[in-house]
Amino acid sequence: MSVENTDFEQVYQGRSPMGGTVPWDIKAPQPAVVALEEAGGFRGEVLDVGCGLGENAVFLASRGHPVTGVDGAPTALREARARASAKGLEIGFEVADATRLEGFEDRFDTVLDSALYHCLTEEQRRDYIAALVRVTRPGARLHLLCFSEAVPDSFPGPFRIGEQNLRETVGRGWRITGLDPALYSTSVSLEGLRNAVRTLRPDEVGDLTELDALEQDEQGRIRAPAWQLSAERA
């Protein structure tokens, strides 16, 4: 599975190339997002862009933050609404193109991007960063989590993002205040990852021992090397 040929709507409908698994659905908020919230990283109106199944938005709303979640996959948003409703939370989930974000101008004080940026091409990233500027207020905060170049080449999925790319692309509209190595929690085990590689790239599978170096959580789920970026609107 590569970003270029991934139909995210099909993934959310259970037709993922990785055995029907949604690799980023850990049924909980990302630990990095929890830590950010506990450190006071969210204020005012919050936009969760590329919100997927809504776990981060649900967590933030449960902490009293007014949250809007947007995604391009209607199936994901239906499930996100159901998860929010199950916890008695009212969250606005809307279908939107992240590179345009029309109808949200000058609205948000904090933006969360948990693993959207690395799904976009470079042209899309530039449009996306410009869109984030349009939909935020002066002094708004941006928190972004994306795969780094430390992710092994045999790991299927998103683009790997380098530090220079973040500084140059995000830096066009935002003043970067923090950029540190981090980990992104997935729902995929090491064996599940190996099987996915064998299925998705049968002609390319060679030595997969580089995957053994990936960190795993207490449940045996992969935690992928990532960047955690914080910024303020310029």
Q: What amino acid occupies position 10?
A: Q
- CA distances for 88 relative to 3, 58, 82, 83, angstroms: 34, 10, 10, 9
Report the candidate in 211, 159, 160 with the shortest Cα–Cα distance to residue 189. 211
pTM higher than 0.85: yes
pLDDT in tens, 94-126: 999 999 999 999 999 999 999 999 999 999 999
Task: Characterize the bridge pairing of strands 174-189 and 221-233.
Answer: antiparallel
CA distance 54 to 67: 10
In this structure, are residues 51 and 74 in contact, taking their beta carbons and an 8 Å threshold? no
pLDDT in tens, 39-81: 999 999 999 999 999 999 999 999 999 999 999 999 999 999 9
CA distance 39 to 85: 27
pLDDT at 1: 42
pLDDT at 234: 85
Cα dihedral 104, 110, 116, 121, rounded to 10, equals 70
In this structure, are residues 194 and 165 in contact, taking their beta carbons and an 8 Å threshold? no
Please compute the mean of the pLDDT values over residues 211-223 and round it to a whole number: 95
pLDDT in tens, 165-203: 999 999 999 999 999 999 999 999 999 998 888 887 666
Level-2 CATH architecture, domain 3-233: 3-Layer(aba) Sandwich (3.40)
Please compute the mean of the pLDDT values over residues 206-227 and round it to a whole number: 91
Q: Which carries the bigger pLDDT value, residue 33 or residue 201?
A: 33
What residue ranges do the domains of the chain occupy? 3-233
pLDDT at 58: 98
Using 50, 70 and 90 to split pLDDT, how confident is the model at 18?
low
Report the candidate in 92, 124, 125, 90 with the shortest Cα–Cα distance to residue 108. 92
- Count the helix, strand and coil residues of the chain and give each as a percent rounded to the nearest 5: 35, 30, 35
